[in-house]
């Protein structure tokens, strides 16, 4: 551990000991039907202050400062209860609670996995929900990095130099994952690689992950799954929030949120994210920056309008700008696009506007819309890539309950205009019109059985008719502790190599197309089992297991091996399969210890001419964990997070001396969080505790990227990458919340 990292930890522990003096307290007793409720969670909402009731139902929160608080009492098997209180200086306040049993305790989270709000228990589609607290356990400067602790989801670094990447779900690459913001498909196409950063973390309320095809509801690109980022409701957030942290590498990330009431019926939330890293480091001594230098700013504004009918109306917008570069250590902007000093420089400008308006009818009819523009000005060495994309999307839905049938009918229209300086648009800008119709019927056969049937029809102006069916079936036990879900669906996707595959633009390999690429199609099936177990001491265990299988035809896979000097793109003359099993557990002990674990075993293969091969850059095994414990004596929360990945097959050049497979590796982090006074919180710790980084020779021919020295063999190549180059580092941050 380096010296600065040690100082960060010493400074954090010093703050823990020297925390502000606080004298007020809250105490009371929790009962149900006259009997005490032991090991009940008692927390002050918006803080990390909390405790558990003892064996006779009593609790005590001490060393508090004066202020307005909301006390939240919750435990498995009982309905959550909240009380707002005003605490005066040095006051010893007594607040008692009488809570009621909850026969439907698994109904706690509201989600939108079927394009309408239902409880997690009632959803026929298996959806994983992650709250903002989950991501605070390992703070990151971008959405891309924050997903690393979700089981079966892996942020894949695609380039050693500019550090761009995409999100893999169950081994399927980023283009098969649709990223939504408030249910709107905003991150796609050109933004697949560069659009996953700059979403302010302070605006995220929760994140939903659906593994498997969702094309019936969301159309093309939702083949492998979807990630829905749900932003906060402006009405129910603090007036001002700030979250700033930095590491000893010199990077600074700032998230600011400001809420204001524009009128009696209009609430607005403004969020700004600013990230700056301008400190070139080359710890592996290959002559190139280990981490891309970045300067970005993102501004987000969301408006919610209250209507007399209580129908929805919200509008949001975001602007994003980023300047990033990576390359040889002596690179400066004057060498941009030249063959003197190698560098990869990307300027990104992006805007988004989206919203929902529920029409003023007695029926539930809603109109959703989104539009965005994305401009990229970049050089990869001497290779320029200039691209511009515009997408407009509108969707009208009608939700109607008819007895046991819950119908959702919709019509959508998507227009995409794309132009770049590659052969992809040599004849002019590509314009794709995609009108679509879909219908979904959720049939409640009885309280234990539910069937969901869906069908979508799209007309692609280039590829013609597309039909994508979907079937889901859910069985719930009588005590609602066990749930089994069966899913089957069809996927469809039109690929754009230059916007989705960074390898096509970087390195010395020549890109070659052997045919006009056809759309990819897939069939996916999975079985999901969820079990909840309550123990007598009020501990809780949740188990989740999924078996998945996806079969692809017309799969488009970059071929690095037929000719090691080329990347050959063609539709697969054969088939590809992604199959495996995913296991997750969620432990909550009565003493406050929380333990989330997950493992995924998978086999992602390509079969062509009767020969089966493992897909490149895809692990057969991955695991993750998150351990959290609140040390009541110190008022400190300890979070220990990490993941482990099995070997991946890596792309090699001819006569390459680099290893053909990556090793097992693990990225682990620890964090301590302390609430100092009402609204203030300090946190810090160490990332990448094991100091793991990829091999120093990951960049082939790093000493001569332009091939000017005939005495050096091999080709310049940056595609051999599977893990971040950033080693161990200390970090320290502060959060502030004003209500």
pLDDT of residue 28: 94
* pLDDT, average across residues 263-290: 95
pLDDT of residue 221: 64
* pLDDT, average across residues 627-649: 92
The pLDDT confidence band at residue 3, using thresholds 50, 70 and 90, is low
Phi-psi region of 15 (alpha: psi -120 to 50; beta: other; left: phi over 0): alpha
* pLDDT, average across residues 691-720: 92
- Check whether 600 has a pLDDT greater than 60: yes
pLDDT of residue 116: 65
pLDDT of residue 214: 66
Burial of 485 (0-12, 13-18, 19+ CB in 10 A): buried
Q: Measured between alpha carbons, how far is 453 from 41 in angstroms, rounded to an integer?
A: 40
| Average pLDDT value over all residues in the chain | 85
pLDDT of residue 203: 78
Highest mean pLDDT among 10-19, 42-51, 571-580, 690-699: 690-699
What's the token pair of residue 167?
């999100």
* pLDDT, average across residues 5-12: 49
pLDDT of residue 491: 79
Distances, alpha carbon 699 to alpha carbons 161, 226, 330, 724, in Å: 9, 32, 17, 13
Q: Measured between alpha carbons, how far is 141 from 133 in angstroms, rounded to an integer?
A: 15
Highest mean pLDDT among 226-240, 530-544, 601-615: 601-615
Distances, alpha carbon 727 to alpha carbons 44, 282, 404, in Å: 36, 11, 56
pLDDT of residue 288: 97
Element (H, E) at 11: helix 3-17
pLDDT of residue 511: 66
* pLDDT, average across residues 43-49: 76
Q: What percent of the chain has pLDDT over 70?
A: 86
Q: What's the length of the chain? A: 739
- Check whether 90 has a pLDDT greater than 70: yes
Highest mean pLDDT among 296-310, 323-337, 713-727: 323-337
| Cβ within 8 Å of residue 594, ≥6 positions away | 586, 587, 588, 626, 627, 628, 629
* pLDDT, average across residues 589-594: 80
- Check whether 20 has a pLDDT greater than 60: no
For the ranges 92-106, 287-301, 565-579, 703-717, which has the lowest average pLDDT?
A: 92-106
Alpha-carbon torsion (704, 166, 517, 345), positive or negative: negative
* pLDDT, average across residues 533-544: 83
pLDDT of residue 496: 60
Q: Long-range contact list for 375-379, CB < 8 A, 24+ apart?
A: 375/348, 375/349, 375/350, 376/190, 376/194, 376/346, 376/347, 376/348, 377/346, 377/347, 378/344, 378/345, 378/346, 378/347, 378/505, 379/336, 379/337, 379/343, 379/344, 379/345
Q: Measured between alpha carbons, how far is 493 from 500 in angstroms, rounded to an integer?
A: 12
Burial of 467 (0-12, 13-18, 19+ CB in 10 A): exposed
More confident residue, 158 or 497: 158
- Check whether 45 has a pLDDT greater than 50: yes
Query: How do the residues of the chain divide into helix, strand and coil, expressed in percent and rounded to 5?
Result: 10, 55, 35
More confident residue, 288 or 574: 288
| Cβ within 8 Å of residue 361, ≥6 positions away | none
- pTM value > 0.85: no
- Check whether 412 has a pLDDT greater than 50: yes
Question: Max Cα separation, the chain?
Answer: 87
* pLDDT, average across residues 262-271: 92
The pLDDT confidence band at residue 215, using thresholds 50, 70 and 90, is low
The Cβ-side half-sphere exposure at 323, using a 13 Å CA radius, reads: 7
pLDDT of residue 12: 47
What's the token pair of residue 442?
């959720």
pLDDT of residue 464: 84
Alpha-carbon torsion (651, 655, 661, 665), positive or negative: negative
More confident residue, 323 or 160: 323
* pLDDT, average across residues 46-66: 80
- pLDDT tens digits, residue range 290-312? 999 999 999 999 999 988 888 88
Nearest to 601 by CA among 580, 572, 632: 580
| DSSP character at residue 424 | G
Q: What percent of the chain has pLDDT over 90?
A: 48
| Cβ within 8 Å of residue 50, ≥6 positions away | 41, 42, 43, 44, 61, 592, 630
What's the token pair of residue 374?
């994305």
pLDDT of residue 123: 82
Q: Specify the 3-state DSSP secondary structure of 96.
A: coil
More confident residue, 14 or 395: 395
The pLDDT confidence band at residue 7, using thresholds 50, 70 and 90, is very low
- pLDDT tens digits, residue range 657-689? 999 999 999 999 999 999 887 779 999 999 999
Q: How far apart are the first and last CA of the chain?
A: 39
Q: Measured between alpha carbons, how far is 530 from 522 in angstroms, rounded to an integer?
A: 26
Q: Specify the 3-state DSSP secondary structure of 335.
A: helix
Phi-psi region of 189 (alpha: psi -120 to 50; beta: other; left: phi over 0): left
| Cβ within 8 Å of residue 734, ≥6 positions away | 242, 243, 244, 245, 680, 681, 682, 683
Q: Which residues pair with 594 in a beta bridge?
A: 588, 628
- Check whether 220 has a pLDDT greater than 70: no
Q: Measured between alpha carbons, how far is 514 from 719 in angstroms, rounded to an integer?
A: 21
CB-CB contact of 504 with 511 (8 Å): yes
- Check whether 94 has a pLDDT greater than 50: yes
More confident residue, 518 or 372: 372
The pLDDT confidence band at residue 593, using thresholds 50, 70 and 90, is confident
């Amino acid at each position: 551990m380096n010296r600065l990292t040690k100082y960060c930890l010493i400074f954090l522990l010093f703050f823990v000991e020297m925390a502000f003096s606080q004298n007020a307290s809250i105490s009371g007793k929790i009962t149900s039907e006259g009997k005490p409720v032991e090991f009940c969670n008692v927390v002050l909402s918006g803080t990390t202050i909390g405790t558990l009731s003892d064996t006779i139902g009593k609790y005590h929160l001490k060393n508090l400062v004066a202020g307005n608080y909301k006390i939240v009492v919750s435990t498995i098997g009982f309905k959550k209860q909240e009380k707002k209180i005003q605490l005066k200086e040095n006051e010893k306040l007594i607040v008692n609670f009488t809570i009621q049993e909850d026969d439907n305790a698994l109904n706690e989270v509201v989600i939108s996995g079927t394009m309408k709000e239902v409880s997690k228990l009632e959803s026929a589609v298996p959806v994983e929900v992650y709250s903002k607290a989950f991501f605070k356990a390992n703070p990151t400067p971008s959405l891309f990095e924050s997903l690393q602790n979700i089981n079966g989801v892996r942020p894949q670094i695609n380039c050693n130099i500019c550090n761009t990447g995409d999100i893999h779900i169950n081994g399927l690459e980023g283009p098969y994952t649709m990223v939504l913001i408030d249910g709107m498909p905003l991150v796609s196409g050109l933004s697949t690689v560069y659009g996953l950063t700059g979403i302010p973390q302070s605006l995220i309320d929760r994140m939903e992950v659906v593994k498997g095809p969702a094309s019936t509801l969301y159309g093309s690109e939702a083949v492998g799954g979807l990630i829905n980022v749900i932003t906060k409701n402006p009405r129910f957030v603090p007036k001002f929030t700030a979250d700033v942290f930095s590491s000893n590498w010199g990077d600074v990330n700032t998230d600011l949120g400001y809420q204001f009431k524009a009128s009696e019926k209009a609430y607005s939330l403004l969020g700004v994210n600013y990230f700056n890293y301008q400190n070139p480091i080359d710890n592996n001594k290959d002559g190139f920056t280990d981490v891309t230098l970045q300067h970005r700013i993102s501004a987000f504004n969301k408006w919610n309008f209250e209507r007399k009918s209580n129908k929805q109306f919200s509008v949001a917008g975001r602007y994003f700008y980023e300047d990033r570069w990576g390359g040889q250590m002596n690179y400066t902007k004057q060498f941009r696009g030249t063959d003197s000093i190698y560098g990869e420089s990307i300027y990104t400008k992006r805007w988004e506007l989206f919203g929902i308006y529920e029409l003023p009818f007695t029926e539930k009819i809603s109109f959703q819309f989104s539009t965005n523009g994305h401009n990229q000005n970049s050089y990869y060495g001497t290779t320029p890539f200039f691209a511009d994309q515009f997408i407009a999307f509108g969707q009208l839905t009608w939700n109607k309950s008819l007895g046991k049938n819950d119908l959702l009918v919709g019509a959508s229209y998507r227009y995409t205009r794309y132009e770049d300086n590659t052969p992809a648009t040599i004849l002019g800008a590509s314009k794709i019109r995609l009108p679509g119709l879909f219908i979904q019927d959720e049939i409640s056969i009885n309280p234990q059985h539910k069937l969901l049937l869906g069908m979508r029809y799209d007309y692609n102006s280039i590829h013609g008719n597309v039909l994508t069916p979907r079937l889901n079936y859910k069985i719930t036990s009588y005590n609602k502790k066990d749930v089994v879900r069966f899913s089957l669906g069809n996927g469809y996707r039109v690929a754009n190599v230059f916007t989705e595959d960074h390898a096509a633009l970087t390195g010395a390999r020549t890109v070659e197309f052997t045919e006009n690429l056809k759309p990819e199609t897939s069939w996916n099936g999975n079985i999901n089992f969820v079990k909840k177990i309550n123990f007598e001491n009020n501990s809780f265990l949740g188990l989740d297991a999924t078996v998945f299988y996806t079969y692809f035809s017309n799969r488009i896979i970059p071929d690095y091996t037929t000719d090691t000097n080329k990347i050959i793109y063609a539709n697969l003359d054969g088939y590809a399969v992604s199959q495996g099993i995913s296991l997750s557990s969620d432990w909550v002990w009565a003493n406050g210890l929380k333990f989330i674990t997950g493992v995924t075993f998978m086999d992602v293969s390509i079969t062509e001419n009767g020969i089966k091969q493992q897909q490149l850059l895809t692990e057969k095994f991955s695991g993750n964990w998150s351990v959290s414990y609140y040390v009541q004596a110190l008022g400190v929360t300890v979070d220990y997070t990490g993941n482990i990945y099995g070997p991946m097959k890596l792309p090699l050049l001819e006569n390459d001396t680099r290893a053909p497979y990556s090793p097992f590796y693990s990225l682990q982090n620890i964090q301590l969080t302390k609430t100092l006074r009402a609204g203030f919180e300090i946190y810090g710790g160490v990332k990448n505790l094991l100091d793991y980084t990829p091999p120093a020779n990951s960049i082939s021919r790093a000493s001569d990227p332009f091939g000017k020295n005939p005495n050096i063999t091999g080709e310049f190549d940056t595609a051999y990458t599977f893990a971040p180059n950033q080693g161990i580092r200390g970090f320290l941050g502060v959060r502030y919340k004003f209500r």
